[in-house]
Chain A
Amino acid sequence: MSALMPAISKTGNILKSFMNLRASLQVARVRPFTSSIKENSSRYDDLKKESDPDMPLEDIKNPFEKEKIKCILCEHNIRVDYKNVRLLSQFVSRYTGRIYGRHITRLCKAQQERVEKEIWKAQQAGLMGGYTRDLAYANDPQLFNPDQPIRPHRF
């Protein structure tokens, strides 16, 4: 295309500038794999060498795939235990002692179930209160904001 360019005079230049503008506005439509170049650049180079650079690449991973989000316990690989009352207290309201739901804690199903189970064990063993939160743990940093649930409250 670059070889043809000098031959086309004014209209060609306008067309070229228009194309450039469009490319800058809509990167995704022009080259869908631009964001993946950084990730596996060597593979991209290999493909580029062996095939025609103007042809679309085949057999390429979805470059727009989002990174998988992990919950706070899975991310740091924390195992909740009924003896660790301080950690369990953070999943409980400091006003009523109620366990916060999954829409507030943002835990995965398995971890939330585990937290609830361990809280119940600690309460039964007399290590943790059911309607209260230990005053020593009352001002612990918040892991999540109860006022901003991902789904609205029932109450």
Chain B
Amino acid sequence: MITYEMPLLLRLMTRPELVSTLKRTAGIIFDQGGIIRRLDSLGTKDLPYRISSHGAVHRRASQFIIEFVVPPSSIKILKDEFERDIDVVRSRIYKVEELTPVECTLHEEILPPAYRKDVQEMVELAKKKFKPKFKNNTGLSYYPFQK
């Protein structure tokens, strides 16, 4: 199974309401046969932009991040559930990507254009597209007749 991460914005509520909403959210994940790995609270913060959901405009929200494991087939159901929940201002589900070490290629990219591999490929491609010009075979470097 794949690990997913869900940033969850909840509307401003009293503490008991917030707890019940979180429990409900967790229950939806458990119902799909999922496991919650981590539940972080980022606190109640001002939103970077105002978000309207379920007929109300929100400028502040409680932010949570839930990391969970569910079968991929149930992601659609989860998305639908959280979208219809009126306490949820916004939720997204992102896959947790594995750490893959990246080899830095900056030293190749800052070379002058003629030495860059992608530019060389581009030049080759342009050469391929070049159409042969008609040859007059007059032995002259100029066109001898009136144009």
Contacts and interface: CB of A to CB of B under 8 A. Distances in A.
Contacts of A60: none
B110 A150 contact: yes
Interface in B49-91: 49, 51, 61, 63, 65, 89-90
A123 B48 CA distance: 9
Interface residues of B, number: 21
B126 interface: no
Interface residues of A, number: 30
Contacts of A132: 48-49
B106 A126 contact: no
A126 to B, nearest CB: 5
Interface in B97-140: 99, 102, 104-107, 109-110
A108 B105 contact: yes
A92 to B, nearest CB: 11
Nearest to A66: B107
A131 B49 CA distance: 9
A121 B106 contact: no
A122 to B, nearest CB: 8
A17 interface: no
Interface in A117-153: 121, 123-132, 134, 150
A15 interface: no
Of B9, B61, B106, most buried by chain A (CB within 10 Å of CB) is B106
Interface string B14-35: 0000000000000000000000
A86 interface: no
B89 to A, nearest CB: 7
B90 A109 contact: no
Of A70, A126, A131, most buried by chain B (CB within 10 Å of CB) is A126
Contacts of A102: 109
Interface of A: 66, 68-71, 74-75, 79, 82-83, 102, 106-111, 121, 123-132, 134, 150
26 contacts: A69-B107, A69-B110, A70-B104, A70-B107, A74-B102, A74-B104, A74-B106, A82-B94, A83-B65, A102-B109, A106-B106, A108-B104, A109-B105, A109-B109, A110-B102, A111-B104, A124-B92, A125-B90, A125-B94, A126-B47, A126-B48, A126-B90, A129-B48, A129-B49, A131-B49, A132-B49
